[in-house]
Amino acid sequence: MSNKDFLKLIKKQRETKTSQKFKGTFLNYLKEVQDNPGIVKLAHKRLYKVIERQGVTTTDVGRDDYREYFNGEKLRKYKYFEKEFFGMEAVIHKLMQFLKSAALKGEESRQVLLLMGPVGAGKSALVEYVKSALEMSDRAYHLEGCPIREEPLHLLPRSLRSQFGELLGVSIEGDLCPICRHRLISEFNGEYEKFPVTQSSFSQRGRRGIATVPPMDANSQDVSVLIGTEDISKLDLYPEDDPRVLSLNGAFNVGNRGIVEFVEVFKNEIEFLHTMLTATQEKRVPSPGKNDMIYFDGVILSHCNESEWNRFKGEHTNEAILDRVLKINVPYVLELDQEMKIYEKMINRSDFKTAHIAPHTIKIASMFSIMSRLKSSAKCDLLTKLKIYNGESIIEKGRVKKIDIKDLREEARNEGMEGISTRFIMKSLDRALSDSDQNMITPINAIDTLVKQVKEQVIDDSLREKYLEILQDIIREEYLRILETEIAKAFITAYEEQAQSLFDSYLDNAECFTTRTKVKDKITREEREPDEKFMRSIEEMIGVVGSAKDGFRSDVTAYMFSKMRKNEIVDFKSYGPLKEAIEQYLITSVKDISRIVTKAKSRDNKQKKKYDSMMLTLIEDYGYNESSAEEILTYAANNLWRDS
Ligand SMILES: Nc1ncnc2c1ncn2[C@@H]1O[C@H](COP(=O)(O)OP(=O)(O)OP(=O)(O)O)[C@@H](O)[C@H]1O
Ligand SMILES: [Mg+2]
């Protein structure tokens, strides 16, 4: 590309940016509003609308996307957040409910929204993401040159407002800022219809409509950060109460019509927070110097952790502020599948992308973070609780274990407000990766580094003990179980024939059972009753027990015959549940041989063939690479099948 081409690109982009930008007088603006009253919006409404516009669905019991964990609650799910946040539907639902009520000018429009939760629960990320929604919204119309980009309708005198409000179909609130007021008189002689109006977008970096207030210690705390200052260099030029000396660049000035964020809000001194209080209560903020208060319209978002909240709440002098705060708890995620998505997202956005992450690694790490957050229950152990929260059915001794998720959640209110954070897990995975010579992480070195990190970083003795027990006992055992099944399953590929003959035999028996006929032996032509014991031993593998067996058998038979009628191939993989059952059945018998072959120092030809085919399955079908497959097999040989 030549310089000319570059210039073309630049100009073209610039044109699209400036093309539709409104520029005119207040009079032109009135016409604009008449044609499209929707352009007049207060901040909460603007924010709500831009997020809602991306799509909303209601998630209710019985729908596909409904999860056990929602506990019977009906939730509104906002598409805007879907790809970024996982397992936070309830929090987002509440956040949006706040914005929605505030948009309708309910009491919420005069409240500060506070997200309270443990470290790394996603509070900052959520607020950041809400702020970037505003950057996607349409440009706001405002008085040209106004430092707080105010709504042009503020120009209308009180006596005309109700009439204009009716004519235009909008409601008009707020007062002209001192700077525009001064300009109106000195420059336009009070003829407000001539005041120029323009449009601009919202931008965090451009400090247009989005402001962030970091926590400040008592010494550096200066209210000018919030409300702006007087420009000393201009004090020589103008009298002290002249608005032209004002430099309205505080957070409430910048964030007017958009969002003001208070990071770790309660780390600030109480005096500092009073401005926040006035801003919500009166919708006005003080002006620097001797000028009148300035109208403010904006969404105030803040966040803090639980100990800061408790400390702040403990002081009764803070009641006035507390009364203006709407708190939403942001707990950690307690659903395994959702927690895994968080790390998958983070990994995909980091340099990890190029590393090899062996199967189950993220699952194992997520199991740890979740179990560390769960409160123990008398109804079941931690691992079972984790599975129930994740919507899995628990099969014990061939029966589905009946524990109601409602009861579990009820007895552990406030769960998820402590435990291992997402950052702790990411740091461990990071470390596991940098410790590895092969640029890979496996569940084995993930567990190792998690143990190391816990030993180094968890100071509280009883917590450390609890975490180590989770890692070294519960998770390790669960991983060995997963591993044993996986290896045995990988061996099954070498046993396809066996699987197929099990399948044929099951199908014969199930058919005769369903049609109440006898099974005919293919060779001897002898007739006998269907083999109940055999069928049960297969069905048990997937928890089909008791009266459920009749339905299962007739389902299988019907399914297979309909396939055969259509001339489709029928093999042991045709029907998902049956395939699963047959594999499980085989695994039990394959375990022995997989142990022998895996452990063997030298393998005979037949064994070698089986071993190689198993390796191939691990790599091609299960997502291992050669090094990680070797590592888990060595681990299995050393831990799973120790010679006793
Ligand atoms: N439920 C979740 N879904 C998606 N990402 C999440 C979730 N929870 C945490 N994260 C990710 O974890 C990281 C840490 O979160 P964040 O910094 O927002 O936490 P925080 O609550 O502000 O913590 P702190 O109190 O330490 O400031 C972010 O990258 C965020 O994207
Ligand atoms: Mg944060």
Token representation of residue 482: 């997963």
Pocket of ligand 1 contains residue 160 by CB under 6 Å:
no
Starting from the CA of residue 308, give the closest ligand.
Answer: 1
The helix, strand and coil proportions of the chain, stated in percent and rounded to the nearest 5, come to 55, 10, 35
Mutate which of 67, 422, 425, 426 for ligand 1 pocket (most atoms within 8 A of beta carbon): 422
Element (H, E) at 192: none
Please compute the mean of the pLDDT values over residues 106-131 and round it to a whole number.
Answer: 95
**pLDDT greater than 60 at residue 398:** no
Mean pLDDT of the chain: 90
> Quick one: pLDDT at residue 380?
92
396-414 exposure pattern, b = at least 16 Cβ within 10 A, e = fewer = eeeeeeebebeebbeeeee
Mutate which of 84, 88, 124, 266 for ligand 1 pocket (most atoms within 8 A of beta carbon): 124
Residue 328 three-state SS = strand
Cα of 123 from ligand 2 centre, angstroms: 6
Residue 262 three-state SS = strand
Please compute the mean of the pLDDT values over residues 115-119 and round it to a whole number.
Answer: 96
Which residue(s) pair with 325 in the sheet?
Answer: 112
> Quick one: pLDDT at residue 404?
87
Which one has a higher pLDDT value, 574 or 643? 574
Cα of 421 from ligand 1 centre, angstroms: 9
Q: In angstroms, what is the C-alpha Rg of the chain? A: 33
Query: pLDDT digit string (tens) for 249-303?
Result: 999 999 999 999 999 999 888 778 888 989 998 899 999 887 789 999 999 999 9
Cα of 120 from ligand 1 centre, angstroms: 4
> Quick one: pLDDT at residue 568?
86
Please compute the mean of the pLDDT values over residues 4-15 and round it to a whole number.
Answer: 85
Short-list 147, 165, 167, 148, CA closest to 156 = 165
> Quick one: pLDDT at residue 590?
67
Pocket of ligand 1 contains residue 331 by CB under 6 Å:
no
State percent of the chain over pLDDT 70: 96
Nearest CA owner, ligand 1 atom 31:
125
> Quick one: pLDDT at residue 642?
59
- As a whole number of angstroms, the distance between CA 521 and CA 277 comes to 86
Nearest CA owner, ligand 1 atom 4:
85
Which of 100-104, 358-362, 535-539, 638-642 is least confident?
Answer: 638-642
**How does residue 641 score in pLDDT terms, banded at 50, 70 and 90?**
low
Short-list 172, 193, 171, CA closest to 184 = 193
Pocket of ligand 1 contains residue 124 by CB under 6 Å:
yes
Cα of 203 from ligand 1 centre, angstroms: 22
Query: pLDDT digit string (tens) for 472-486?
Result: 999 999 999 999 888
Give the pTM: 0.86
Starting from the CA of residue 127, give the closest ligand.
Answer: 1
Which one has a higher pLDDT value, 522 or 99? 99
Starting from the CA of residue 422, give the closest ligand.
Answer: 1
Query: pLDDT digit string (tens) for 64-82?
Result: 888 988 888 899 999 999 9
Cα of 420 from ligand 1 centre, angstroms: 12
Q: What is the DSSP letter of 208?
A: B
Please compute the mean of the pLDDT values over residues 502-514 and round it to a whole number.
Answer: 91
**pLDDT greater than 50 at residue 644:** no
- As a whole number of angstroms, the distance between CA 216 and CA 251 comes to 14
**How does residue 19 score in pLDDT terms, banded at 50, 70 and 90?**
low
- As a whole number of angstroms, the distance between CA 471 and CA 485 comes to 20
Query: pLDDT digit string (tens) for 164-218?
Result: 999 999 999 999 999 999 999 999 999 999 999 999 999 999 999 999 999 887 7
Cα of 583 from ligand 1 centre, angstroms: 40
Please compute the mean of the pLDDT values over residues 365-376 and round it to a whole number.
Answer: 97
Pocket of ligand 1 contains residue 305 by CB under 6 Å:
yes
Query: pLDDT digit string (tens) for 608-636?
Result: 887 888 889 999 999 999 999 989 988 88
Pocket of ligand 1 contains residue 88 by CB under 6 Å:
yes
